[in-house]
Amino acid sequence: MSPTARPVTIVFAGLLGAVSGSVDVLVFTRLGGVFASVITGNVVVVGAAIGSGRFGVMSHAAVAVLGYALGVLAATVATRHVDDHPARGAATLVVAVYATEWALVTGVGAVWLGAHGRPGGWVQYLALIGVATAMGMQSRAFAMDRLPGVTTTYFTGTLTGLLTGLITHSTINRAAAAALVSLLLGAAASGAVISVARTFAPLVPISLLSVAVAMAVLRWRRHPAT
């Protein structure tokens, strides 16, 4: 991703980064101490759980990995012909993926609300697999933007690319920087709401994702072949 990225693209990347940060705070604090988007972190959690015998945590991590994988697979199947037939409006399928992600996160928000911010038992697993699937779908959908060095669900590579570009080319990947800063801001927003009004914490990612989906609709209406 070059520093000349369009402002709308930078904002879009930032919104999705904030969604990831806000969702992961919900999952880590109330859905089993794992992550919805940082899948490598969940693999480490599984390893630690095996070593310590904490099989409850291991099951949560495994469910998160499974949900994320299902999301990636479903979104990939849905968008596999976008490159083959761009002129036929196949790119609208990408918008459909984002809309499905929104539906999943909103559904989890409803479950969370019904549990008064304390989902437990099978409800907790249901909510976890829902948000993890949503993050997997977001990861695949954003990849269709083809922005080198920028992701919105796992950020180690994004940070590495940002710092490498800064040193080797004396440039700042603004979309990558926006995603990273927004990740922090989204996490902070969810953390703040959880601390004062836990029941309504899912409104943070739902609101952010609503704006992102609206942007996606506008983008592909204006440029249906991209």
Domain ranges of the chain: 7-222
b/e sequence 149-181, b meaning 16+ C-beta within 10 Å: bbbbbbbeebeebbeebeeeeeeebbbbbbbbe
* CATH class entry, domain 7-222: mainly alpha
What CA–CA distance (Å, rounded) separates 17 from 213? 13
User: Do 35 and 21 contact (CB within 8 A), yes or no?
Assistant: no
Of 36-45, 64-73, 81-90, 125-134, the poorest mean pLDDT is in: 81-90
Residues contacting residue 168 through CB under 8 Å, at least 6 positions apart = none
- Give the pLDDT of residue 84: 62
Residue 1's pLDDT band (boundaries 50, 70, 90)?
A: very low
161 pLDDT more than 50:
yes
Work out the average pLDDT over 53-63. 82
Average pLDDT on 128-142 reads: 95
The pLDDT of 161-189, averaged and rounded, is 87
What is the Cα gyration radius of the chain? 17
pTM exceeding 0.85: yes
